[in-house]
């Protein structure tokens, strides 16, 4: 399966994605996480993966070098070094994807911040395209994690057989609208919707809450959960509240800080 995992910034995307990785890691012979922001080191704590920092030195590694590394470290989180730029990271990821392609095994590949690795504005590297298209035929499943659907390559988006989508605003959701059989406004937390026209399984458990997807916060205004919609090409769809998600491993993603509005005279 290829899974699109997308939501706007601040929706708890990386936490939810890590929960999926933790749940599926042991079902595969190998796990390769291309970690753009260093958010998935928690998978190492529970022995689900080893951890590598990928810097300028690793940019010089060949496909054969990466085949050896991935063969010796079948479950690994590859974290981008802070000094590695986006274009250099994209090239490194393409080399790693080619190495993954040569390893014939059941494996899960996770591409974090996929709009940088497979941007719509650039030609999609063949190894990355292979992971998104024919990879599953060779035993490879993939997760594409992004907050900018409008900037992500259309080949990647259309080749995902399942989607886990959080809240969106603006035109991002339109990139996958062909696979959505319910109102797009459901993903806009500010929308005012009536339950009519929304499938029963996509309504919230507490009907007194808004029918659009919501973020849940504590008294300190910290996000403690968010609602998502899962759908796949087999017609299955349901609503998920991440307040019910638990993990053994620690998540290291930043919650971010609020910006206070200045006082205006």
Q: Is there a contact between 6 and 166 (Cβ–Cβ < 8 Å)?
A: yes
Residue 254 confidence (pLDDT)? 56
pLDDT at position 264 is: 59
Q: Please report the beta strands in 86-165, taking only residues with DSSP state E, as ranges in sequence order.
A: 107-111, 140-146, 162-165
The residue with tokens 């650039």 is: 122
Between CA 27 and CA 253 the distance in angstroms is: 24
Q: Which residues pair with 79 in a beta bridge?
A: 35, 53
Given this model, what pLDDT does residue 77 score?
A: 97
Give every residue of the chain whose pLDDT is below 50, as ranges: 256-257
Tens digits of residue pLDDT in 112-163: 999 999 999 888 999 999 999 875 556 889 999 999 998 999 999 989 999 9
**Can you give the residue ranges of every domain in the chain?**
2-244
Could you tell me if 60 and 103 are in contact, meaning their C-beta atoms sit under 8 angstroms apart? no
Q: Which CATH superfamily is domain 2-244 in?
A: P-loop containing nucleotide triphosphate hydrolases (3.40.50.300)
Positive/negative CA dihedral, 159, 163, 166, 169: positive
CB 57 within 8 A of CB 81: no
33 forms beta bridges with 77, 110
């Amino acid at each position: 399966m290829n899974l699109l995992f997308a939501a706007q910034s601040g929706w708890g995307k990386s936490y939810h994605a890590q929960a999926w990785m933790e749940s599926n890691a042991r079902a595969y012979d190998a796990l390769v996480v291309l970690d753009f922001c260093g958010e998935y080191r928690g998978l190492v704590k529970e022995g689900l993966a080893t951890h590598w920092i990928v810097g300028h030195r690793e940019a010089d590694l060949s496909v054969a070098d990466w085949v050896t590394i991935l063969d010796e470290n079948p479950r690994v989180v590859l974290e981008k070094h802070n000094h590695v730029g986006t274009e250099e990271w994209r090239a490194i990821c393409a080399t790693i994807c080619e190495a993954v392609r040569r390893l014939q095994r059941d494996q899960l590949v996770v591409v974090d911040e996929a709009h940088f690795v497979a941007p719509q504005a650039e030609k999609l590297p063949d190894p990355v395209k292979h992971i998104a298209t024919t990879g599953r035929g060779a035993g490879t499943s993939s997760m594409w994690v992004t907050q900018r659907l409008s900037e992500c390559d259309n080949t990647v988006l259309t080749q995902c057989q399942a989607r886990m989508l959080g809240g969106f605003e603006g035109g991002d959701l339109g990139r996958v609208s062909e696979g959505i059989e319910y109102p797009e406004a459901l993903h806009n937390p500010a929308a005012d919707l009536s339950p009519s026209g929304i499938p029963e399984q996509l309504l919230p458990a507490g009907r007194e809450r808004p029918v659009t997807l919501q973020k849940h916060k504590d008294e300190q205004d910290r996000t403690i959960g968010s609602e998502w919609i899962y759908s796949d090409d087999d017609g299955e769809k349901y609503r998920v509240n991440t307040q019910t998600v638990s993990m053994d491993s620690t998540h290291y993603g930043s919650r971010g800080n609020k910006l206070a509005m200045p006082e205006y005279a």
